[in-house]
């Protein structure tokens, strides 16, 4: 595929980074619309997302440096290619750092949980779709070996260097499976938002749908570096997806009860004297 989008002299511009950045921009643009539909201040959500993304990026790369400190000490030039390195657990680490920054900020800004989740639902799914498209082109999060006619074969050495992708081996285009699923979720949530009955519905549906999509697409991904549970029956992202489904179910279950209707005047009892 194409892990390198283009060159600017000696500078290499990675496809993954460009598409991930494009996904962020598209998501922020969509967020300005969904924020109004959810009744949330768009400026506050914009700041929340920028803060979370910055902390997630810095935190995940700091952990990468710490884990490879012996390499950094011996070969400091390795830091120049730090942004190119993709590891399955980096996304989870970055998400944890981003969430740790988002929660206190949302609390200080008095952002309500349910409307905030509603506003973030469709943009998040859109950003994930773009990220998975970038992963498909770069070889990150590659699939398991297959003989299917739609299998893809990576041949670029940078795919192996940056993501550990096996070369000249037909694998499932699992990133495409995930990208299509996430894009469908984003479109569905965008169309659903104006018709939702109460705050939290879009957020709950998003968590359920994203969790299901992640859980099933992970069966087509190579398990290398993704953790395991139950003797390899489940991996790290699948465990996280189960948590997403449970949280989404709780959000949808905790619904406001409609107010009891006032008694019809004709049914009122007249007190006897």
**67: pLDDT strictly greater than 90:** no
* pLDDT for res 218: 92
d(CA 137, CA 158): 11
- Which percentage of the chain shows pLDDT scores above 70? 83
Q: How many whole angstroms from its chain centre is CA 65?
A: 23
Q: Name the DSSP letter for residue 39.
A: T
Q: Evaluate if residue 140 carries a pLDDT over 80.
A: yes
Signed CA dihedral, 45, 51, 57, 60: sign only: negative
Euclidean distance between CA atoms 186 and 180, whole angstroms? 10
In the chain, where do the E strands start and end? 4-8, 11-14, 152-153, 170-171
Residue 194, phi then psi, degrees to nearest 5: -65, -15
User: Tokens in use for 65?
Assistant: 């440096």
142 close to 174: Cβ distance less than 8 angstroms: yes
Domain boundaries in the chain? Answer: 4-255
pLDDT at 269 over 70: no
Alpha-carbon distance values, 103 to 15, 25, 46, 107, 263 (Å): 31, 22, 14, 6, 43
Choose the weakest-confidence range: 1-10, 103-112, 259-268.
259-268
Supply the pLDDT for residue 71.
Answer: 66
User: Residue 271 has what pLDDT?
Assistant: 52
Residue 80 confidence (pLDDT): 55
Which pLDDT belongs to residue 255?
64
Q: Positive or negative, the Cα torsion across 172, 176, 179, 185?
A: negative
Strand 4-8 versus strand 152-153 pairing type? unpaired
Please report which confidence band the pLDDT of residue 234 belongs to, taking 50, 70 and 90 as the band edges: confident
- Is beta strand 11-14 parallel, antiparallel or unpaired with respect to 152-153? unpaired
Average of per-residue pLDDT across 77-96: 67
Tokens of 52: 């979370």
In angstroms, rounded to a whole number, what is the distance separating the alpha carbons of residues 21 and 36? 24
Across 97-106, 117-126, 236-245, 252-261, least confident range: 252-261
The secondary structure of 242-254 as a DSSP string is HHHHHHHHHHHHS
**What pLDDT is stored for residue 150 in this prediction?**
95
Residues with Cβ < 8 Å from 135, sequence gap 6 or more? 16, 86, 141, 175
Q: Is the pLDDT of residue 82 over 70?
A: no
Half-sphere exposure for 183 (CA within 13 Å, toward CB):
13
């Amino acid at each position: 595929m194409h892990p390198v989008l283009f060159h600017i002299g000696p500078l290499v511009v990675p496809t993954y980074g460009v598409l991930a950045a494009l996904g962020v921009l598209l998501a922020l643009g969509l967020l300005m619309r969904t924020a109004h539909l959810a009744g949330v201040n768009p400026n506050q959500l914009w700041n929340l997302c920028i803060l979370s993304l910055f902390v997630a990026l810095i935190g995940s790369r700091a952990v990468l440096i710490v884990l490879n400190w012996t390499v950094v000490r011996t070969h400091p030039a390795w830091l120049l290619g730090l942004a190119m390195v993709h590891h399955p657990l980096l996304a989870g680490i970055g998400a944890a750092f981003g969430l740790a920054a988002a929660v206190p900020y949302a609390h200080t800004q008095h952002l309500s949980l349910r409307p905030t989740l509603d506003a973030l639902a469709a943009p998040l799914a859109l950003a994930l779709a773009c990220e998975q498209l970038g992963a498909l082109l770069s070889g990150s999060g590659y699939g398991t070996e297959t003989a299917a006619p739609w299998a893809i074969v990576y041949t670029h050495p940078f795919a192996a260097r940056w993501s550990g992708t096996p070369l000249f081996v037909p694998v499932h285009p699992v990133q495409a499976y995930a990208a299509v699923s996430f894009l469908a979720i984003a479109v569905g949530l965008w169309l659903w938002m104006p018709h939702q009955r109460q705050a939290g519905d879009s957020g709950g549906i998003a968590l359920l749908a994203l969790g299901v999509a992640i859980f099933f697409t992970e069966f087509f991904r190579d398990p290398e570096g993704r953790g395991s549970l139950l003797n390899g029956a489940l991996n790290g992202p699948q465990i996280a997806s189960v948590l997403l489904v449970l949280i989404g179910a709780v959000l949808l279950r905790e619904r406001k009860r409609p107010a009891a209707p006032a008694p019809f005047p004709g049914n009122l009892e007249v007190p006897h004297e």
